[in-house]
């Protein structure tokens, strides 16, 4: 049984609740346990995962959050840098599912976050578990 850490960038509560529900359901359906920590925003998610890696308590990680395009360049910075940070950790052999949504508007975010629709939280958890399986296979 794997122990998974869900790192949620809790900026939009109602959207994160859906992402979190999907991720938890997918992890539990696969027979694994999980914990959740909250960070202020998507930029902090990779750092939290890096800190948690040092504890050796977790087998895989799921990053959750929502970034909705605004009127400034900030959207691009947050979207690109959070993805870059997660990808850097993944390239180091860490099993991570990236469920940080980057959308144009709230309607797109709702569709993607809702477990009854696109279930991107559940998809990120399944990706993390799939990468863990590969890590164990090749390890």
Report whether 90 belongs to an annotated binding site.
no
Q: How far apart are the first and last CA of the chain?
A: 17
Q: Which residues of 81-102 are buried (b: 16+ CB within 10 A; e: fewer)?
A: ebbebbeebbeeebbbbbbbbb
Report whether 57 belongs to an annotated binding site.
no
Instruction: Let me know if 32 is a catalytic residue.
Output: no
Report whether 55 belongs to an annotated binding site.
no
Report whether 81 belongs to an annotated binding site.
no
Residue located via tokens 């809790």: 10
Residue 56 is given by DSSP the state T
The C-alpha atoms of residue 71 and residue 63 are separated, in whole angstroms, by 25
Report whether 68 belongs to an annotated binding site.
yes
Q: Which residues of 57-72 are buried (b: 16+ CB within 10 A; e: fewer)?
A: ebbbbbbbbbbbeeee
Q: Which of 3, 32, 34, 74 is catalytic?
A: 74
Report whether 21 belongs to an annotated binding site.
no
Report whether 72 belongs to an annotated binding site.
yes
Report whether 60 belongs to an annotated binding site.
no
Active site residues: 74
Feature table: binding site for (2S)-2-hydroxy-3-oxobutyl phosphate: 71-72, 112
Feature table: binding site: 11, 42-44, 66-68, 71-72, 98, 112
């Amino acid at each position: 049984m794997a122990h998974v850490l869900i790192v949620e960038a809790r900026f939009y509560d109602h959207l994160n609740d859906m992402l979190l529900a999907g991720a938890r359901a997918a992890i539990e359906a696969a027979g694994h346990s999980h914990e959740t920590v909250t960070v202020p925003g998507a930029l902090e998610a990779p750092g939290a995962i890096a800190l948690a890696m040092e504890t050796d308590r977790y087998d895989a990680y799921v990053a959750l959050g929502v970034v909705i395009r605004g009127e400034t360049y900030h959207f691009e910075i947050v979207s690109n840098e959070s993805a870059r940070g997660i990808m850097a950790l993944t390239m180091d052999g860490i099993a991570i599912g990236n469920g940080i949504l980057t959308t144009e508007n709230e309607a797109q975010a709702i569709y993607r976050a809702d477990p009854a629709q696109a279930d991107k939280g559940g998809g990120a958890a399944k990706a993390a578990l799939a990468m863990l399986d590969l890590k164990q296979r090749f390890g």
